[in-house]
C-alpha cells in the first residue's frame, strides 16, 4: 500500500503515520524528519534547508524531490510506504508521478486553523529520535524525557507562535491545492482530524480499508 497523508502542519499526520506504519508493516517517510536529521549531522543539504525551515517556509522542491527519490529507492519501500509531509506542492506530486510511483490513496486529515495553532504550540519532540508528544493531549509518561529513548523533549524552532502562522499560510497557499490534485485522480479521502487520537485513527483506518 502506497499512502500519502495530507493535512496542515500539526494535523496529526505524524501520529497517524506511526500507527499505520505498525499496522501495515510498511515504513513511514517524513521529509521533515529526514531534513532535521541532516541538519543535526551538519550535512550540506541540512544546512541549505535550515533557513527555510526556521522561517516556516518550504524547502525548495528540487531538494526535497531529491531526498524522496533516494529514500523510496531503498529496499524497505518495496512493499509500500506512508508519506508524511511529502508532497507539499503540486510540482512535488507531479515529480512522484514522473518517478512512476503509483499512489493508492491520499488521506487528508482536516483540522481547523485555531485547533492547529493550539496543538503546535503544545507540541514537544524528542531531540534524539524525533518522537512527537503534546503537553495536554499526548504527554510523555517520563515527563520531559522521551518514553522511547530517554532523549530530552524540546520545542521545535518552527513551532514558535509567529512561525506557526507563517507555516499555516504556506500550507493554504502551496499545499492545499494537492487536495484538488488527488481528488481529480480519484484518490482523495478526507478525514476530520479533531477528537481523540483513537477516534481519528479509526476514521483513518476506515479510509485506508475503503
Active-site amino acid positions: 13, 88, 123, 156, 167
Contact yes or no for 194/201 (Cβ under 8 A): no
Q: Is 108 in the site for ligand AMP (CB under 6 A)?
A: no
Distance, CA of 210 to CA of 66 (rounded, Å): 32
Distance, CA of 186 to CA of 207 (rounded, Å): 13
Contact yes or no for 118/112 (Cβ under 8 A): no
Phi, psi of 155 (to 5 degrees): -90, 130
CB closest to ligand AMP, residue no: 32
Q: Which residues pair with 123 in a beta bridge?
A: 134
Q: Is 52 in the site for ligand AMP (CB under 6 A)?
A: yes
Interface stretch with ligand AMP, choices 20-28, 31-39, 115-123, 134-142 (CB under 6 A): 31-39
Tell me how far, at minimum, the Cβ of 13 lies from ligand AMP, in Å: 7
Which listed residue (3, 5, 17, 53) binds ligand AMP by CB under 6 A?
53
Contact yes or no for 191/107 (Cβ under 8 A): yes
Q: Is 32 in the site for ligand AMP (CB under 6 A)?
A: yes
Of 47 and 209, which CB lies nearer to ligand AMP in the complex structure? 47
Of 33 and 137, which CB lies nearer to ligand AMP in the complex structure? 33
Of 157 and 206, which CB lies nearer to ligand AMP in the complex structure? 157
Tell me how far, at minimum, the Cβ of 86 lies from ligand AMP, in Å: 4
SS3 annotation, 121-160? HCEEEECCCCCEEECCCECCCCCCECCCCCCEEECCHHHC
Give the footprint of ligand AMP on residues 67-86 (CB under 6 A): 85-86
Q: Is the peptide bond before 185 cis (omega within 30 degrees of 0)?
A: no
Q: Is 35 in the site for ligand AMP (CB under 6 A)?
A: yes
Give 35: exposed, middle or buried? Use CB within 10 Å, 0-12, 13-18, 19+.
buried
Residues in contact with ligand AMP, counted by CB under 6 A, come to a total of 18
Of 125 and 208, which CB lies nearer to ligand AMP in the complex structure? 125
Point out which residues bind ligand AMP (CB under 6 A).
Answer: 9, 30-32, 35, 52-53, 57-59, 64, 85-88, 92, 158, 167
Amino acid at each position: 500500500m502506497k499512502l500519502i497523508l495530507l493535512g496542515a502542519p500539526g494535523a496529526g499526520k505524524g501520529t497517524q503515520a506511526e500507527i499505520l506504519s505498525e499496522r501495515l508493516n510498511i515504513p513511514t517517510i517524513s521529509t521533515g524528519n529526514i531534513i532535521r536529521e541532516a541538519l543535526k549531522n551538519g550535512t550540506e543539504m541540512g544546512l541549505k534547508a535550515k533557513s527555510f525551515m526556521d522561517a516556516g517556509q518550504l524547502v525548495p522542491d528540487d531538494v526535497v524531490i531529491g531526498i524522496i527519490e533516494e529514500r523510496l529507492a531503498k529496499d524497505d519501500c518495496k512493499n509500500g510506504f506512508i508519506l508524511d509531509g511529502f508532497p507539499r506542492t503540486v510540482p512535488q506530486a507531479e515529480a512522484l508521478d514522473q518517478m512512476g510511483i503509483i499512489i493508492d490513496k491520499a488521506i487528508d486529515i482536516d483540522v481547523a486553523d485555531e485547533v492547529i495553532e493550539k496543538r503546535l504550540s503544545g507540541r514537544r519532540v524528542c531531540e534524539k529520535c524525533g518522537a512527537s508528544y503534546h503537553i495536554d493531549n499526548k504527554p510523555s509518561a517520563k515527563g520531559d524525557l522521551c518514553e522511547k529513548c530517554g532523549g530530552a523533549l524540546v520545542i521545535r524552532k518552527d513551532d514558535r507562535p509567529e512561525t506557526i502562522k507563517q507555516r499555516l499560510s504556506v500550507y493554504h497557499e502551496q499545499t492545499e491545492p494537492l487536495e484538488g490534485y488527488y481528488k481529480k485522480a480519484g484518490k482523495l479521502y478526507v478525514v476530520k482530524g479533531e477528537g481523540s487520537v483513537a477516534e481519528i485513527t479509526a476514521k483513518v483506518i476506515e479510509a485506508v480499508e475503503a
